[in-house]
Amino acid sequence: MTRTLNPTKEVRGSITVGGDKSIAHRVVLISLLSQQPIDILNFPDNADCLASLNAVQALGVQVEHQDDRVRLQPPASISVPVDTIIDCGNSGTTARLLAGIIAGSNLEVTLAGDESLQSRPMQRIIDPLTAMGAEFFADDGHLPMRIRGNKLLPFEYTLPVASAQVKSAIMLAALASGCSVTVRETVAARDHTEIMLEAIGEGITRRKITPVPVPDPVDPRRKRMQMPEPFKREISLSAQAKINGGTVNIPGDFSTAAYFFAAAAIARGRVEVRNVGLNPTRTAFLDYLKMCGCTVNIANKTVVSGETRGDVTVTGAKLSSRKIVAGNTVNLIDELPIVAVVAAFAEGTTLIRDAAELKLKESDRLASVSENLTLMGVKHGLLEDGLAIEGGRDFSGADFKSCGDHRIAMAFSVASLFLIGPSSIEDDEIVRVSCPNFYELLDEIAR
């Protein structure tokens, strides 16, 4: 369905967004390995998370929807026919994390998905899980993918690139098989899996490597700081690690909140998102907005189920451009489409580099962003690993393309609020992948 979008005069309001998608996936999939039931508060009713819920049901988890929670009753054991096919829909998180659990279980299961998911790379999990002892049968590292689980070997692995999904797949494989594992990160990725294992399980240890003073080789009278290890973080699971069960209260999804913060930033308005997740690996977008000139206030900060949350208010201002490279790009990877939209309205030229990973998402997000910026009339360059965007104002309304990608649809729906004349977005229902009520929330703050 194509939706017409009109410019707004003011952006202001206070909203609550649905539960964090990344956390929801993990608690649902981990329920397969739990010794006791798990109760989920604030479960997000989006298509991606429902794919995980349907997957664990197919493997024996009993799902009960209660008034304020979803209760997951794990099976005594997982046993399914060898011709079982699990449909992961559009969800790469479902496919990659579930692959880890199957790899460490006595199962033979095929994972499938929609056309978009079939185009996304799975080799990044196949390689380490195969090294642990699982068997994979896949066409050039893509879905559909048949997995034959085994009793896995103890494993140590340094992630070649920052990837929370690869890290999580390895840890869940070890948890399912009852073997020890150590994962090391040279660039810190999201740590929701580790936090959850600590909150409702046991047997996990984490070590953060920090620089230490050593004698300067040029002048021994001086000291210089040096990393004692060639990595930044180390996560270990013992062979006795387990999931005990319990209650997980999911905070609001920060990546969803980012679209509404961006609207406030561009409009020089003010938006509050209540009870939103503030995991430090997720909130780089707030730092970006502050560097661009916005004011960010956080109230009622607390920790629930191991995850930090609070009420965040962003007040917009005249925006200035900023360079986004290396670690900043990694920390903003999900928000880069909306970063590009903010950059279009910022003074100066924004350079985004080291973002080649965006080519492997639900769409080639670099190309999708570029196509829609062109429709707006924004001067920009599409680079091999990023974008160069010349900011300005007075762009024309356009018929935007969602490109089958929820984040592209939401980003350019926000952009449409500040264009001259009406715009449209085709396939607006794609936002159901992460935020089914996105347009209702947008209506609440755009006045």
pLDDT for residue 365: 97
pLDDT (tens digit per residue) in 369-385: 999 999 999 999 999 99
Confidence of residue 139 (pLDDT cuts 50, 70, 90): confident
pLDDT (tens digit per residue) in 110-127: 999 999 999 999 999 999
Are 372 and 401 within 8 A, CB to CB? yes
Q: Which residue has the higher pLDDT, 217 or 406?
A: 406
pLDDT (tens digit per residue) in 27-78: 999 999 999 999 999 999 999 999 999 999 999 999 999 988 999 999 998 9
295-304 sheet: strands from edge to edge: 12-15, 270-277, 307-315, 295-304
Query: For residue 133, which phi and psi values (nearest 5 degrees)?
Result: 125, 0
- As beta bridge partners, residue 302 has 309
Query: For residue 240, which phi and psi values (nearest 5 degrees)?
Result: -95, 5
pLDDT for residue 415: 98
Residue 209 to residue 227: CA distance in whole angstroms? 7
Confidence of residue 342 (pLDDT cuts 50, 70, 90): very high
Are 37 and 3 within 8 A, CB to CB? no
pLDDT for residue 327: 82
CA atoms within 13 A on the CB side of 162: 22
pLDDT (tens digit per residue) in 277-306: 999 999 999 999 999 999 999 999 999 999
Q: Is 334 a catalytic residue?
A: yes
Are 309 and 301 within 8 A, CB to CB? yes
* Closest by CA position to 171, among listed 74, 99, 253, 123: 99
Question: What does the DSSP assignment read for 69-101?
Answer: EEEEE--SS----TT-EEE-TT-HHHHHHHHHH
pTM: 0.95
Does this chain's domain 3-19+252-445 share its CATH topology with 21-249? yes
Residue 35 to residue 249: CA distance in whole angstroms? 19
CATH number of 3-19+252-445: 3.65.10.10
pLDDT for residue 216: 85
Kindly give, in sequence order, each residue whose CB lies less than 8 Å from that of residue 143, ignoring residues fewer than 6 positions away.
88, 95, 111, 112, 113, 117, 118, 120, 122
Mean pLDDT of 80-102: 96
pLDDT for residue 377: 96
Exactly one of 87, 253, 334, 428 is catalytic; which is it?
A: 334
User: What residue ranges do the domains of the chain occupy?
Assistant: 3-19+252-445, 21-249
pLDDT for residue 67: 87
Residue 56 to residue 74: CA distance in whole angstroms? 9
Environment class of residue 187 by beta-carbon count within 10 Å: exposed (0-12), middle (13-18) or buried (19+)?
A: middle
pLDDT (tens digit per residue) in 226-248: 898 999 999 999 999 999 999 99
* Closest by CA position to 23, among listed 266, 203, 253: 253
pLDDT (tens digit per residue) in 214-230: 888 888 788 888 898 99
Residue 397 to residue 128: CA distance in whole angstroms? 47
Reply yes or no on whether the pLDDT at 273 is more than 90: yes
Candidates 3.40.50.1370, 3.20.20.330, 3.65.10.10, 3.40.50.740; CATH matching 21-249 = 3.65.10.10
pLDDT for residue 136: 97
Question: What does the DSSP assignment read for 164-195?
Answer: HHHHHHHHHHHHHHT--EEEEESS----HHHH
Reply yes or no on whether the pLDDT at 326 is more than 90: no
pLDDT for residue 196: 96
pLDDT (tens digit per residue) in 187-214: 889 999 999 999 999 999 999 999 888 8
Reply yes or no on whether the pLDDT at 447 is more than 90: no
